[in-house]
Amino acid sequence: MDVKVLVAAHKNYAMPKDELYLPVFVGKEIHPDVNQTFKGDNTGDNISAKNPTYNELTAIYWGWKNLDLDAMGLVHYRRYLSMNHRKSLDSVLSKEQAESLLADHDIILPPKRRYFIESNESHYLHAHHHEPFEVMRQVIADKYPEYLPSFEKVMKRTWAHMFNMFVMKRQPLDEYCTWMFDVLAEVEAQTDISDYSTYEKRVYGFLSELLLDVWLDQHPQYATVEVKYVFMEHTNWFKKGGKFILRKITGHA
């Protein structure tokens, strides 16, 4: 099976040696001189220039449009899928393991991220501007009404598959990317983010994290499997928890 997992990166960083992985420098169109080692997301059919608002989606779009593969996935330079929790580049998901999982499944996912006391909708709205979220809901209602029940169902959940991390066989990848990028393009056309902060201008990348589970709920014919997730650097849980509580109280961090 011809499988590649793109590693989205915006800086020089150590990468796995396994042939499964293809490091991709995101936003290469904007920063052509930063890295000359990783593959750029600005060749062929691409949206590299939109990286400030689409985040790692520019890598997904580039791979979807330009790579002829049986399956493709995405991880981040600090976040990987793994069969264990060891923080080692030698312990991340291997090509052999990916092929074994894809023999019986269509999609490999990270574990669910659980919020427990918040729904996906309230978690998003406590952290970000409300308008793009509401525009996304209306775009789905207008253009893809068959997806609206799944959207409302997923927004009420207290868990989600986050970070735009996955490995998909070609058919679900084509179907998901066609739908997801069309929804985001419609939202982009209907929102004015000119006065947003640099962080909040990453809005279409943030919104996309909510769309994966909506699409999965609408397509139960595809068999999925979850594997572990590892973050390569130290996580300050005290700081992270403080920001979570601040968002709950004030509506922003």
Q: What is the CATH number of the domain that holds 90?
A: 3.90.550
User: Which DSSP letter does residue 73 get?
Assistant: E
* Structural domain that includes position 29: 3-250
- According to DSSP, the β-strands at 71-76 and 113-114 are unpaired
**Side-chain-facing half-sphere of 118: CA atoms under 13 Å:** 18
35 close to 25: Cβ distance less than 8 angstroms: yes
CA-closest candidate to residue 74, choices 85, 86, 84, 61: 61
Give me the pLDDT at residue 237, please. 38
Nearest 5°: CA angle at 3, between 95 and 69? 170
Task: Indicate the number of domains in the chain.
Answer: 1
> How confident is the model over 116-136, as pLDDT tens digits?
999 999 999 999 999 999 999
Q: How far apart are CA 242 and CA 240, in angstroms?
A: 5
Give me the pLDDT at residue 252, please. 52
114 close to 244: Cβ distance less than 8 angstroms: no
> How confident is the model over 103-116, as pLDDT tens digits?
999 999 999 999 99
